[in-house]
């Protein structure tokens, strides 16, 4: 908790001037309230003695002054404190994203998307109130206590000691009450909010599956249960806050009685002018305005420290890949050489890659095939420096892969994957992701090579058509062609095709492979796939099984060998023939109807 608190202080440090100004304005606001009530009470009490109006002029001007300044200072205090909060929020978001990005994807696998979303949005929003709810109120309260010490001390030191004592007792007592009754509530509230966010995001993302398996009611029941628990914790915090405020009000009233008990004898003894009695009472009441925000500090602080710890839990993680150099070497060519590569995801897990070796010369094509779990995706993760390999060597352009910065490696490689992410943007916006400076002519040329230009032209707004979250308004084949066009725009010397025809029917898969042939020309290409479509043109095929290479050679040679590759091809051919037959039957049935 201490570490989280000091981390928040460091993050808020750059805004100390604005925070100091906000505290000063807050102090001025409450001081104006004290002055307004004090001068008003003085005017009423002194007017009872029927003095000349001239004797009240200064007090009358004081009432007007304090009334106007109170409103102006309150407005300025809100303006400055909110400005600080928003600047702190912006700083926190940038800071967290800068820390988060190097951790992807290796260190973020164990987190749910809803949980990450909750940390990025809700937890950071909670921390945005760190200054306004936690730091500023105690500072303002201390300043007001000092003011009241000197103000009441001008009448009698015993009055200042009495009032400041009750102010301190109210501040400390309300905090102690809130801490005792609400211990752990803020922390549980943050944890429960995270679970609720995760459940809601999972429900939205998996809505189709929940409906298909008739589990929507159960998921809704789980969300309802989490929501009810969340409401109960909020109600508990409200009750604690109410009791703390009641304690503050009680102590304020007790302090007034105590002040009267001390002040009246002073008036009777002639040590204090009786006209000031109402002034002292109302000034004391006004000073307790600085104490009212204090009871919620502990609850707010506990919630904010819990939110900070959730962020630091991610931020403190060491990246899976650390760049060893500030600058990358200049690649000699676009070749790729892998020797005795071994890698495992955890110390106790079996090797995902066990002694992989191959050489991919510049401009040539290599296909790595095998069933799911063979280690194909792991190979891509290592080549893109998402993970670092344990043993062996990967040489890219004549240099060890570790000698390159991760960003520079990914600038040399384009990837068309089976899970290409398309943003909720226009087709043009998604294409410009690869090359922000590309012209409309470049976009059209890339789309033509990817065989999707005609389709885009037929859309209502052409390249400015929005495609929905994840590109859901496009079919699987259309999404893959957009991904191909994006890879063409990036125009890198090395191309990785990661299951480019996965989840596509046989006919669409062949059309997508035709579009890929144009992308593969004059590029060093690595094809990762378990579907043996269009591999007749590649220079070499590696057949993997359980992390090892079990066969290698050209397409025709591997078929003649009659090994693992040949058996995979026969099974897939039968499956594709069945798919085509079923599609033809479905089309015929539609025509008959």
The residue-averaged pLDDT of 97-115 equals: 80
Residue positions counted in the chain: 593
Q: What residues pair up with 199 in beta bridges, in sequence order?
A: none
Q: What are phi and psi of 48, to 5 degrees?
A: -65, -20
Cα–Cα distance measured from residue 301 to residue 482, given in angstroms and rounded to the nearest whole number: 48
Q: What is the pLDDT of residue 505?
A: 66
Q: How confident is the model at residue 498 (pLDDT cuts 50, 70, 90)?
A: confident
Q: What is the pLDDT of residue 99?
A: 85
DSSP 8-class letter at 353: E
Spatial CB neighbours of 219, under 8 Å, sequence gap ≥ 6: 199, 202, 203, 210
Q: Which of 512, 508, 554 is nearest to 417 (CA)?
A: 512
pLDDT > 70 in the chain, percent: 94
Note the pLDDT tens digit of each residue in 77-104: 999 999 998 998 888 888 888 888 888 7
Which of 85-89, 232-236, 417-421 is the least confident region? 417-421
3-state secondary structure 436-461: CCCCHHHHHHHHHHCCCHHHHHCCCC
pLDDT at 585 over 70: no
Burial class (CB within 10 angstroms; exposed 0-12, middle 13-18, buried 19+) of 440 = exposed
pLDDT at 39 over 60: yes
pLDDT at 556 over 70: yes
pLDDT at 576 over 60: no
Nearest 5°: CA angle at 579, between 578 and 582? 85
List the domains of the chain with CATH numbers. Answer: 2-182+232-315 (1.20.1560.10), 336-567 (3.40.50.300)
Predicted TM-score of the model (pTM) = 0.75
The residue-averaged pLDDT of 462-466 equals: 91
Give helix 136-153 / helix 157-182 axis angle, nearest 10°. 160
pLDDT at 304 over 70: yes
Note the pLDDT tens digit of each residue in 313-353: 888 878 778 887 888 899 999 899 999 999 888 777 888 88
pLDDT at 593 over 50: no
Note the pLDDT tens digit of each residue in 144-179: 999 999 999 999 899 999 999 999 988 888 778 777
Cα–Cα distance measured from residue 165 to residue 264, given in angstroms and rounded to the nearest whole number: 19
State the chain's mean pLDDT as an integer. Answer: 85
What tokens were used for 585?
Answer: 């039957």
Note the pLDDT tens digit of each residue in 21-37: 999 999 999 999 999 99
pLDDT at 504 over 80: no
Q: What is the pLDDT of residue 502?
A: 67
Q: What is the pLDDT of residue 31?
A: 94
Q: What is the pLDDT of residue 148?
A: 93
């Amino acid at each position: 908790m201490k570490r989280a608190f000091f981390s928040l202080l460091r993050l808020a440090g750059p805004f100390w001037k604005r925070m100091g100004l906000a505290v000063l304005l807050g102090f001025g606001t409450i001081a104006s309230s004290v002055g307004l009530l004090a001068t008003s009470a003085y005017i009423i009490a002194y007017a009872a003695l029927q003095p000349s109006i001239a004797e009240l002029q200064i007090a009358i001007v004081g009432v007007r002054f304090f009334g106007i300044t109170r409103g102006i200072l309150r407005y300025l205090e809100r303006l400055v404190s909110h400005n600080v909060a928003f600047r702190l929020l912006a700083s926190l978001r940038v800071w967290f994203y800068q820390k988060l990005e190097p951790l992807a994807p290796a260190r973020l696998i164990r987190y749910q998307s809803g949980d990450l979303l909750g940390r990025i949005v809700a937890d950071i929003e909670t921390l945005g109130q760190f200054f306004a709810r936690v730091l500023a109120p105690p500072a303002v309260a201390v300043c007001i206590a000092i003011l009241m010490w000197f103000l009441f001390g001008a009448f009698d030191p015993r009055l200042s000691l009495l009032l400041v004592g009750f102010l301190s007792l109210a501040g400390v007592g309300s905090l102690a009450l809130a801490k005792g009754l609400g211990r752990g509530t803020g922390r549980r509230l943050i944890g429960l909010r995270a679970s609720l966010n995760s459940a809601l995001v999972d429900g939205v993302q998996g809505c189709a599956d929940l409906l298909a398996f008739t589990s929507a009611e159960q998921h809704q029941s789980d969300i309802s249960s989490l929501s009810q628990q969340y409401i109960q914790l909020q109600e508990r915090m409200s009750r604690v806050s109410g009791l703390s405020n009641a304690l503050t009000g009680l102590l304020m009233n007790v302090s007034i009685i105590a002040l009267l008990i001390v002040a009246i004898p002073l008036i009777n003894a002639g040590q204090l002018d009786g006209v000031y009695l109402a002034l002292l009472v109302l000034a004391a009441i006004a000073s307790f305005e600085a104490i009212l925000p204090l009871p919620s500090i502990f609850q707010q602080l506990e919630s904010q420290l819990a939110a900070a710890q959730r962020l630091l839990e991610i931020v403190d993680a060491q990246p899976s890949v650390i760049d060893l150099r500030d600058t990358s070497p200049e690649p000699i060519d676009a070749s790729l050489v892998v020797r005795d590569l071994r890698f495992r995801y955890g110390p106790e897990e079996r090797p995902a890659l066990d002694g992989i070796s191959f050489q991919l010369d510049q401009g040539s094509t290599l296909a790595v095939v095998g069933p799911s779990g063979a280690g194909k995706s792991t190979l891509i993760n290592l080549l893109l420096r998402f993970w670092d390999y344990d043993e062996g060597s990967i040489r890219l352009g004549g240099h060890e892969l570790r000698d390159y910065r991760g960003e520079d490696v990914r600038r040399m490689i384009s990837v068309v994957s089976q899970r290409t992410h398309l943003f909720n943007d226009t087709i043009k916006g998604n294409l410009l992701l690869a090359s922000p400076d590309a012209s409309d002519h470049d976009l059209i040329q890339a789309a033509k090579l990817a065989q999707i230009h005609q389709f885009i032209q037929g859309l209502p707004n052409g390249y400015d058509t929005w495609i929905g979250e994840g590109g859901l308004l496009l079919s699987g084949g259309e999404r893959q062609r957009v991904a191909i066009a994006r890879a063409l725009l990036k125009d890198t010397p090395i191309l990785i095709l990661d299951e480019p025809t996965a989840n596509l029917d046989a006919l669409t898969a062949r059309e997508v492979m035709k579009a890929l042939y144009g992308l593969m020309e004059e590029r060093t290409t690595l094809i990762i796939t378990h579907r043996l479509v269009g591999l007749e043109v590649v220079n070499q095929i590696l057949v993997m099984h359980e992390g090892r290479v079990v066969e290698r050679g050209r397409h025709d040679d591997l078929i003649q060998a009659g090994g693992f590759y040949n058996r995979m091809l026969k099974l897939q051919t039968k499956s594709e023939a069945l798919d085509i037959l079923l599609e033809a039957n479905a089309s015929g049935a539609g025509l008959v109807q």
